[in-house]
Amino acid sequence: MDISRKKPILKNRVPEYVEEAVVELAIDNPALGQKRVFWKLQQKRIMVSSSSVRSVLVAQRTGDHEKASQSTGGPLGSGKASC
């Protein structure tokens, strides 16, 4: 019996309805940043931290990035100008 092995920690996630609200707000208002999305959700009485908003937005962008990369068959640029 191996007692030293720890159980894996499951990823902390926000509830599905919060994630959907963040994504919907970000798609409807692409100019909004993390803080503004956070404040808009607070006004709608959806309690979420600004860091959770960022996590959802990053995960959403990452998922979109991977899907786009698969559909084009090649790597996508980071969108930043290279020096």
pLDDT in tens, 3-54: 667 766 666 678 889 999 999 998 998 898 899 999 999 999 999 999 999 9
pLDDT of residue 64: 52
Q: Enter the tokens of residue 48.
A: 């979420």
Q: What's the rounded mean pLDDT across residues 50-62?
A: 87
Domain assignment of residue 78, yes or no:
no
Domain assignment of residue 7, yes or no:
no
Number of domains in the chain: 1
Helix or strand holding residue 27 (H, E): helix 16-28
pLDDT of residue 36: 93
Domain assignment of residue 76, yes or no:
no
Q: Quick check: helix, strand or coil at residue 10?
A: coil
Q: List the Cα angle 33/48/35 in 5-degree steps.
A: 20
Domain assignment of residue 49, yes or no:
yes
> Quick check: pTM over 0.85?
no
Measured CA to CA, the distance from residue 55 to residue 39 in angstroms comes to 16
Expressed as residue numbers, the domain containing 55 is 16-69
Domain assignment of residue 77, yes or no:
no
Domain assignment of residue 75, yes or no:
no
